[in-house]
Amino acid sequence: MRPLRKTPTGKSVIAVDRFIKRFTLGKLARKDLIPKLKLIREAAEIGSVNAEACLAFIFDNGIGVKKDLSKAVFWYKIAASHKNAHAQSWLGYAYGNGVGVKKSFSKALFWDRKAAKQGYAPAEYNLGQAYAEGVGVRNNLSKAVFWWRKSALQGHVSARCNLGKAYETGGGVTRNLSEAVKWYKKAANQGDGLAAYNLGRCFDAGFGVRRNKKKAIAWFRYAARMGFIKGSVLNGP
């Protein structure tokens, strides 16, 4: 359905979409959505895909309203049917974990694939996880690496860490320690504690880099600050 130009109260749907865009870009806080709830609902009800997904998010997180997963699922399904990648990925998560819906790995994969085909990094990462763990599909580390790489290239931190581990162990890809270090470093610089710990291990053992005890300890300490418990072992893993 093509959205109308104005909501029933006369507000421009384009203006509502711009407001939502600012929120998705991190320029607004969750509390900033509350005064706009009525407008977002109106825009969603006349077919604004961004408003549909935003309204689902609002019900999912209880922002200015009582948290209601059934309403969140309702609006996410509508937004997903209108090709909103975030909504499709959320449904993949919901079906994979039984959140607001009956758990179904086949439906989780269906929606994650839809979102991944649009280049949505979280969905690409989730597909990689499914292939790595054999959840709903046959275990296939090569396919896991394929999807992690696509996600990692867009900056997804967990995908970058997983790609580093794949290169370190040779799981689904030719073993390459320097590549492992490269991806660990990218993820660690984004604040990933596990990647920082793994990078510390590499410097401690000389995997893919020249052995450097000081750098190893520095990365272990950083991992600890990021909440990764093993990183508190400052003299090595």
pLDDT band at 4 (very low <50, low <70, confident <90, very high): low
So what's the pLDDT on residue 237? 47
Give the side-chain half-sphere CA count within 13 A for 184: 30
Quick check: 92 pLDDT over 70?
Answer: yes
User: What percentage of the chain has pLDDT greater than the value 90?
Assistant: 89
The CA-based dihedral angle spanning residues 32, 38, 42, 44, taken in that order and rounded to the nearest 10 degrees: 40
Which residues lie across from 6 on neighbouring strands?
12
Q: Is residue 169 a contact partner of residue 175, using CB atoms and an 8 Å limit?
A: yes
- Of 36, 59, 40, give the one whose Cα is nearest residue 51: 40
Tokens found for residue 30: 């969750």
Segment 211-222, tens digit of pLDDT: 999 999 999 999
Q: What is the pLDDT of residue 13?
A: 85
Model confidence at 9, pLDDT cuts 50, 70, 90, reads low
**Per-residue pLDDT tens over the stretch 123-164:** 999 999 999 999 999 999 999 999 999 999 999 999 999 999
Q: What is the pLDDT of residue 229?
A: 76
First-to-last alpha carbon distance for the chain, in angstroms, is: 56
Report the mean per-residue pLDDT for the chain.
Answer: 93
Residues 164, 122, 134, 91, Cα dihedral to 10°: 170
Residue 53: band (very low, low, confident or very high) from pLDDT cuts 50, 70, 90: very high
- pLDDT 10s digits, 14-52: 999 999 999 999 999 999 999 999 999 999 999 999 999
Confidence class for position 12, pLDDT limits 50, 70, 90:
confident
User: Is residue 192 over pLDDT 70?
Assistant: yes
* pLDDT reading at 59 higher than 80: yes
Q: CA 58 to CA 157: how far, in whole Å?
A: 25
What does pTM read for this prediction?
A: 0.88
Is residue 107's pLDDT more than 50? yes
Residue 101 has pLDDT above 80, yes or no: yes
**From CA 113, how far away is CA 85, in angstroms rounded?**
10
